Structure 1
């Protein structure tokens, strides 16, 4: 399993990809598969061996424009990881690519070992769309996505395998009685629109706990300046065990993406703790939140919509949130879907 090249696993820079990779690797290992992870130096995954590769990190794709050219830095960690994979490929039945990047897709036809590509984002750049489509056409069944909504951002949606995600729910403790806080979890960067959550929290007068890596420090400082009188509590980037404990204390989670989120791991994490999710009605979140039952889907980019939903949080049964997570997003359920995808690729190779 070859990780994202934008940051070491465990730093939070890779966003939801880090958690998805860790969960899949741990579940496949639990099922008796021999799993190794190739990742940038400093990566840590519990109970799974990690081969650490040095090199320069890649620029995250979500920061690029539609017609951005392909850029590979000098001594690229992405190139170094895939050079390592090339050398050891015959020792493995399958390579799983977690990088949303052009290079691994391009290299697919040069490898003898089959490659499964789990695409973590919707359509962002023309170069990526074209390359994903080439692989989807020439290597049928090898493109996996997290949601049908994500797949539909591509012209070749029917060639993508929707897998959803899953968590080890034993890590997440159900909390029936919250404290008077709201939560926001994610990379602190413009496409996540934290300022909308802050504005909504300010209007309702409920303090907002913010969890995540400050990926864009200038953006964070601007929010603090613009909303100096808002009650924001920055909790930092926390390991899962600590995050779920603090998240579970909150009345609701606000998820406010400006872009099409492929899935939304934080929404599952909240539900697992019994925390209702208030999300913009776009991207994979549309497939997770059951409007009126486990949270609310509101008009995208509408702070008023967030405010109205916050006022209705007490109508949501927190136990129903946990039950949805158990029924649809357990690690076992995710493992079944992912393992079958891997088997199908091996059978057709």
Structure 2
């Protein structure tokens, strides 16, 4: 197939602003190319992926949906990068069998009926906007094969859950080194923003006095500074936004990864990255992580928003066999298995 991917409009690829969807796009490009499909990507200027053919588009970035309220009206910035990306796609659409949309935004769904080439919409987050839900539902009902998500938990946040194709996720396991033994430290990985509730992990670290390594893009500087001021005695260390190779070296040495989302995570690629290194995952029992973690075997699922739950699970880390974590990643979350799901979905759309 000839596949044209349209990236998120909130940031350049490899900037970290797009969160887990950046890793998903990276892996999709790699896997579809391995299967001899022709892949091109349209993305905001400054995007960088080593093995990708990227068309960089100028324009102003969009505000991430998770930072806004549900009832916010439909808006676009002046000289919208998303509008510019889709105008370019309109001009070259006949050169491709299918367009794959990764923007969590109203515009691509609205444009779908006006394109001659089929558009596959991969939704990267749960329900966050009333207006976006409405247009997504309209398109899902009209094109019931063309909308996909990571998990059933994510699908269930939408009024059109029955039309969502569940694709899961996967990673290139060859990039992650298994570590049989860990040092006495914990990890937290993700965008540093309020919906990720990093402060809960910091509080658990303070109570247990086990050092917490923090990885990821600081998306909300004020939020980050407030955490530092509120927990000055917590044994935390910010390690920055690292490449996969550098990240897994650090992550693999940790006793466990803490996941503390306030919202319903669509999936949680960081969870399978940890498992691939043999690192157990302790997460609130909500959203995608609840479908990934096998409670008591590859980590622990605790009561959402419970610091005591996190602390209790941290004390139980020795119960987990790190080989079980690695085996889970290999059996369920390989790039090949996920690639099969994604490829079959695209073929269904193209042949429809």
Q: TM-score, normalised by structure 1?
A: 0.99
Aligned match for 2:272, one of 265, 268, 272:
268
**1:301 maps to what in 2?**
305
Aligned residues: 348
Paired position in structure 1 for 2:64:
60
SS of equivalent to 2:148: strand
RMSD value, Cα: 0.5
Matched ranges for 1:6-155 at <5 A: 6-155=10-159
What is the aligned partner in structure 1 of residue 282 from structure 2? 278
**Cα deviations across residues 166-214 of structure 1 (Å, max 9, x unaligned)?**
0000000000111111000000000000000000011111000000111
Name the structure 2 match of 1:5: 9
> What SS does structure 2 have at the residue aligned with 1:36?
strand
> Which aligned pairs between 1:311-330 and structure 2 lie closer than 5 A?
311-330=315-334
1:31-89 deviation line (CA, Å, top 9, x unaligned): 00000011011111121211111110000000111111111000110001001100000
Q: Is the 8 A contact 1:29 1:48 kept in 2?
A: no
Q: Which runs of 5+ in 1 are unaligned?
A: none
Measured in 2, the distance between the counterparts of 1:314 and 1:174 equals 17
Matched, 1:196 2:210: no
Which 4+ stretches in 1 moved above 2 angstroms?
A: none
TM-score by length of 2: 0.98
Cα offsets for 1:80-114 (capped at 9, x unmatched): 10011000000000000001000000000000000
In 2: Cα distance, 1:127 partner to 1:187 partner: 25
Q: Per the alignment, in what secondary structure is the counterpart of residue 51 of structure 1?
A: strand
Tell me the CA shift for residue 156 of structure 1: 1.4
